Amino acid sequence: MTVADTALHHISPLDNSAADADAQPQHPPLLDAQGLYVSLGGLPILRDVSLQVHAGEAVAILGGNGSGKSTTIRAVLGLIPFQEGSVQLFGTELTDFREWDRVGYVPQHSTLNVSNATVREIVSSGRLSHHRIFQFLNREDRKHVERALKLVELTDRAKWPFSTLSGGQKQRVLIARALASEPELLIMDEPLAGVDLHSQDGLARLLGALRSDGLGLAVVLHEQGPLAGILDRWVTLCDGRVVTADTHGATDCVPSPGDSSTLGLRDLIAGGRR
């Protein structure tokens, strides 16, 4: 039994109901996004989206294609601007935040186009946030790289070219790269996309172990699927808005027009004004 398997036995998913309000963590959230409005190319993409993630908590961002899931995480990471709302990371406003080694980002493996890099080289790039430009990795860095490879059970693939791996293995490499920086918050974009069912179960066990160790997780998903057992809460997006809390995924999402806009202009999708 692996470390991840052992840790999974200690995970007790929380009930996603108002009855648990009193049991919410008392510490400030690792991620606190409130009332985000994002407009791209003159079209409103997000409308009043809020998201919080605490330490030791797994939160899913659910929804179908075009619902605004990836836009949400790109906005909270500062990769695209938001026109209204606020984002704090570890209690610091996004514009003032500099401790990016505390945040791990795992993109979809299909977005990473490398031909010659080995697994170890990609995981080692996760340590660059701890160094100045052109500074070589040291013994401490190598120790963290090896630990991350062991955690995702890819030590025996360290010298393999990344391009030869399966979808599930590639996703684990990207998780290891993020873990090498020793993050406290891990943000993942569709970690199950292009991954076979067996590997999905393995990823669920790994993420459950990380959650039980205190890591905060924000995970973009179409449906809860194999990760249902480790999720504490979820936010479902539909047409750029948060819909009801009992909506579990993309198939339950039904757009409902309303008065939402990003800049006080006519909302071409909802047809309303703000």
Q: How confident is the model at residue 156 (pLDDT cuts 50, 70, 90)?
A: very high
Average pLDDT rounded to a whole number, residues 68-81: 94
User: Does the structure show a pLDDT above 70 at 87?
Assistant: yes
Q: Which residue has the tokens 């500099």?
A: 98
Rounded to two decimals, what is the model's pTM?
A: 0.75
Instruction: Give the strands of the sheet with 92-93, arranged side by side.
Output: 43-53, 31-40, 84-89, 92-93
Report the C-alpha gap between 86 and 234 in whole angstroms: 20
Q: Is residue 44 classed as helix, strand or coil in its secondary structure?
A: strand
Q: Is residue 145 classed as helix, strand or coil in its secondary structure?
A: helix
**270 φ/ψ angles, rounded to the nearest 5 degrees:** -90, -25
Q: How confident is the model at residue 203 (pLDDT cuts 50, 70, 90)?
A: confident
Range scoring the smallest mean pLDDT among 78-87, 102-111, 218-227, 242-251: 242-251
The residue among 30, 22, 73, 34 whose CA lies nearest residue 55 is: 30
Q: How confident is the model at residue 135 (pLDDT cuts 50, 70, 90)?
A: low
Report the C-alpha gap between 158 and 121 in whole angstroms: 8
Q: Is residue 146 classed as helix, strand or coil in its secondary structure?
A: helix
Q: From residue 5, give the alpha-carbon distance in Å to each of 43, 205, 212.
A: 45, 6, 12
Please report the pLDDT score of residue 201 as a whole number: 86
In contact, 240 and 68? CB cutoff 8 Å:
yes
Range scoring the smallest mean pLDDT among 28-32, 188-192, 197-201: 197-201
User: Does the structure show a pLDDT above 80 at 238?
Assistant: yes
Range scoring the smallest mean pLDDT among 110-114, 152-156, 188-192, 270-274: 270-274
Element (H, E) at 179: helix 167-179
Angle among Cα 144, 147, 149 to the nearest 5 degrees reads 110
User: Does the structure show a pLDDT above 50 at 17?
Assistant: no
Element (H, E) at 210: helix 197-212
Q: Which of the four CATH numbers 3.20.20.80, 3.30.365.10, 3.40.50.300, 2.40.160.10 does domain 3-7+28-252 have?
A: 3.40.50.300
Q: Cα-Cα-Cα-Cα dihedral of 130, 132, 137, 142, to 10°?
A: 0
Range scoring the smallest mean pLDDT among 135-139, 178-182, 193-197, 252-256: 252-256
Specify the DSSP class assigned to residue 43. Answer: E
Q: Which residue has the tokens 């905060």?
A: 216
* Predicted confidence (pLDDT) per residue in 209-223, tens digit: 999 999 999 999 988
Report the C-alpha gap between 186 and 132 in whole angstroms: 23
Specify the DSSP class assigned to residue 6. Answer: H
Q: How confident is the model at residue 10 (pLDDT cuts 50, 70, 90)?
A: very low
The residue among 243, 230, 246 whose CA lies nearest residue 191 is: 230
